[in-house]
Amino acid sequence: MFVHCPNDWLEFIECHIEKNDILELQNTIESQYGNAVCFPPKDQIFQAFKYCATQQIKVVILGQDPYHGPQQANGLAFSVPFGVKHPPSLKNIFIELSQDQDIGYPFSGSLEPWASQGVLLLNTALSVEMSKPASHLKYWKPFTKKLLSAISKEKEFVVFVLWGGFAQKFEGCIDTDKHVIIKGGHPSPLSANKGHWFGNRHFSKINELLKQKKEVPINWEVDRSIET
């Protein structure tokens, strides 16, 4: 499984997580994939790391676990492959984005353009069993806590975005003397329809914080990378 993890991230992980813990996680997830249909495809589990190198991280957006329906999860939190129908949470993200940034609602549901600019789209669990949300969270939670703590320790400044109560449980992994945490409701309809999502203007807030640190802001447009 870790053979698909980019070398820079593999080195980073091995520096901060015990080898036995890595092997135990790998064996557990391999077993889950061997006994049931799981997502994303095994070679895409570490896709978020592929598009956002360790030296490139500016923003971490923390999700819960991958979409649990066929052909949806692509290894980046909240993202789906190009051409796939947008799940409800992604729809709400794009509605808020279009209002905050005054850009059109995107056609593509792939968030690779964000990741390639230094936005780590990290789920707290990097895999899930089909039709069983949260089924792998218990396996990934220790790994994710150590990974977030390592990012917090090694990086000078990162904007951590925690959407929803579950993501906010990982707040303690982040050193707020160095980094900034943006918290808000989850983009799911259950949360958004209660008034906990729309109007948060998080995309603008992220860029304002990056500019304050003399960092290049994120271009939040998605469709600009579509090849015709």
Q: How many domains does the chain have?
A: 1
Query: How many other CB atoms are there within 10 angstroms of residue 30's CB atom?
Result: 12
Q: What does the pLDDT read at residue 126?
A: 98
> What CATH number does residue 146 fall under?
3.40.470.10
Query: How many other CB atoms are there within 10 angstroms of residue 88's CB atom?
Result: 12
Q: What does the pLDDT read at residue 224?
A: 57
Q: What does the pLDDT read at residue 114?
A: 98
- The rounded distance, in Å, linking the Cα atoms of 194 and 12 is 39
Q: What does the pLDDT read at residue 1?
A: 87
- The rounded distance, in Å, linking the Cα atoms of 170 and 146 is 10
pTM of the model: 0.95
- The rounded distance, in Å, linking the Cα atoms of 24 and 30 is 10
Residue 226, in any domain of the structure: no
In 78-199, which ranges are continuous DSSP H helix? Answer: 88-101, 112-115, 137-154, 165-168, 189-192
Q: What does the pLDDT read at residue 196?
A: 84
Whether 65 sits among the annotated catalytic residues: the reply is yes
- The rounded distance, in Å, linking the Cα atoms of 58 and 121 is 11
The strands making up 119-123's β-sheet, listed across from edge to edge, are 119-123, 59-63, 159-163, 180-184
Residue 103, domain extent: 2-213
- The rounded distance, in Å, linking the Cα atoms of 1 and 26 is 6
In single-letter form, the type of residue at position 31 comes to S
Residue 120, in any domain of the structure: yes
Question: Strands 38-39 and 59-63: what pairing?
Answer: unpaired
Residue 74, in any domain of the structure: yes
- The rounded distance, in Å, linking the Cα atoms of 34 and 30 is 6
3-class secondary structure, 161: strand
| Residues lower than pLDDT 50 in the chain | 225-228
Residue 15, in any domain of the structure: yes
The length of the chain, given as a count of residues: 228
Residue 11, in any domain of the structure: yes
Q: What does the pLDDT read at residue 194?
A: 83
Residue 70, in any domain of the structure: yes
- The rounded distance, in Å, linking the Cα atoms of 42 and 126 is 10
Residue 109, in any domain of the structure: yes
List the catalytic residue out of 65, 102, 175, 177.
Answer: 65
Residue 119, in any domain of the structure: yes
